[in-house]
Chains A and B, each alone.
Chain A
Amino acid sequence: MCLAIPGKIVERRGDQGTVDFGGAYRQVNLSLVKARVGDYVIVHAGFAISKVRRREAEKTLELVRQIMQG
């Protein structure tokens, strides 16, 4: 139920938008997030529930590198 997947907003018209999930496009309700075209969002049951901060993903990988180096 909490399965949610990231996608990129390619179009927004009011509360509705089109999100690109790696080539598959879907209409998504964007009323619960403050997001613009170009932003990545996590989509669950037809609604975007959170923005994805891609810079933070880089930080996660950096943390992994630090742990690996001991």
Chain B
Amino acid sequence: MERLRDGKLIRGIVERIGEYHVHLNFMHACGTHQETLVRYGLDSLFGKVGVSVKSGPGCPVCVTTAKEFVQVMELAEKGKTIIVYGDCLKVPVNGRSLVSLREDGFDVRVVYSVEDAVRLAEGVEKDVVFMAIGFETTAPTTGAILLKDDLPDNFYVFSCHRFFLPAMIKLLELGEVRLQGLIEPGHVSAVVGARPYEQIKKRFQIPQVISGFEPLDLALSAYELVKQNIEGEPRVVNEYNRVVSANGNTTALKVLHSVFEEGDIEWRGFPIIPKSLMKIRRRFSAHDAQAQFEDILSKVTYEPSEIEKRCRCGEVLRGVAEPKDCPLFNKVCTLENPVGACMVSIEGACRIHLELGQV
């Protein structure tokens, strides 16, 4: 595996790309891809050979809307114990966040896994609400838990899980960015498989590659997309075949589809994307926070503050803007005082740019 970080091999592939003399725009949709691109300086290496890789809607915490965060905050204020993945804690909404609620004495806790959340619920009598965020990579883990028949009665899931492909399709439909290739996310693909991307090929005739996360994976993926452009024949190539199969993880998919059904939902920076929400099926409603606490949640509203209106996180997620295009970036919006989710999540483009990039 160390060889997948071999600088000589990476530079060799990039030199090969350079021989094609191209000017192409690609997009990835995964925070871990963004981190590899910036950490290993691949973005600037690619830039020298005419390849630009934009970042897309690949950060699940970032694409979750402010309203969903406000709803979870409301449940905390109503006395529920809120459990989140660490990345959600500091997402700001109008100057508040789950961490600020915790500082105000409300019960907000962080876990690494949904299993830890269940264990936590077993130890308390209060209602415990797990804010479930993530694409197909994470959703089967929540699903596996909801399928258990010995869940504590006080354990509820607030599903913010989303299907990834509808967002990519929406982005291509919007047509705001000219793209000549997509680097598809390796770990979403580990679950869904390579096959679903054929629908994108069929409809949009755009080259695609499913990529791993080592720098050599991304160099190879860029090379593959360049080659497809030169040959003029869009394909779905699976570069990450050590982990991704054609049909994906069928066990995980079965779990996912038996627990969740498709629902319509807004994404940060996007209009409502049909069939992109993983909504908990009715037969699991005893543990569905959105169903059980509907009376509280339906009253929640969200209006962005003046400063939030200037945050360009939504455009960054659509690949229309780069972090440095935002007037708030590294001035008003910083790692210590973030304004948008893209500055909070470890997968957020703004945070990665500020932490690892050259600003």
By a beta-carbon cutoff of 8 Å, the part of chain A in contact with chain B is 1-4, 6, 29, 31-34, 42, 44-47, 49-54, 56-57, 59-61, 63-64, 67-68, 70
Contact = CB atoms under 8 A, between A and B. Distances in A.
Given A1-B137, A32-B144, A45 B85 contact: yes
A19 B218 CA distance: 27
Contact of B85 (A1, A42, A56): A1
Nearest to A44: B137
A36 to B, nearest CB: 15
B138 interface: yes
Given A32-B144, A46-B112, A67-B223, A60 B13 contact: no
Nearest to A3: B32
A57 B134 contact: no
Given A1-B134, A2-B134, A49-B137, A31 B346 contact: no
Given A2-B60, A29-B115, A46 B4 contact: no
A56 B12 CA distance: 21
Contact of A1 (B31, B113, B239): B31
Nearest to B17: A67
A51 B241 CA distance: 11
A15 B4 CA distance: 31
Contacts of B338: none
A4 B187 contact: yes
Contacts of A60: 4, 212, 216-217, 220, 239, 241-242
Given A45-B113, A60-B242, A2 B220 contact: no
B255 A32 contact: yes
Contacts of B61: 1
A68 B137 contact: no
B242 A45 contact: no
A63 B220 CA distance: 9
Contacts of A1: 31, 59-61, 85, 87, 133-135, 137-138, 345, 347
Given A1-B347, A3-B347, A34-B251, 4 more contacts: A2-B137, A32-B140, A42-B187, A45-B114
Given A1-B59, A34-B251, A46 B113 contact: yes
A55 to B, nearest CB: 8
Contacts of B113: 29, 45-47
Q: Which 4 A-B pairs have the closest CB atoms?
A: A46-B113, A56-B242, A50-B190, A1-B60
7 contacts: A1-B31, A2-B30, A2-B32, A42-B187, A47-B144, A60-B212, A68-B12
B242 A52 contact: yes
Contacts of A59: 241
Contacts of A45: 85, 112-114, 134, 138, 141
Nearest to A32: B252
Identify the interface centre among A49, A61, A68: most chain B CB within 10 Å of its CB.
A49
B246 to A, nearest CB: 13
B187 A44 contact: yes
Contacts of B60: 1-2
A46 B138 CA distance: 10
A44 to B, nearest CB: 5
A50 B191 contact: yes
Interface string B245-285: 00001011001000000000000000000000000000000
A14 to B, nearest CB: 13
Nearest to A42: B243
Nearest to B244: A50
Nearest to A46: B113
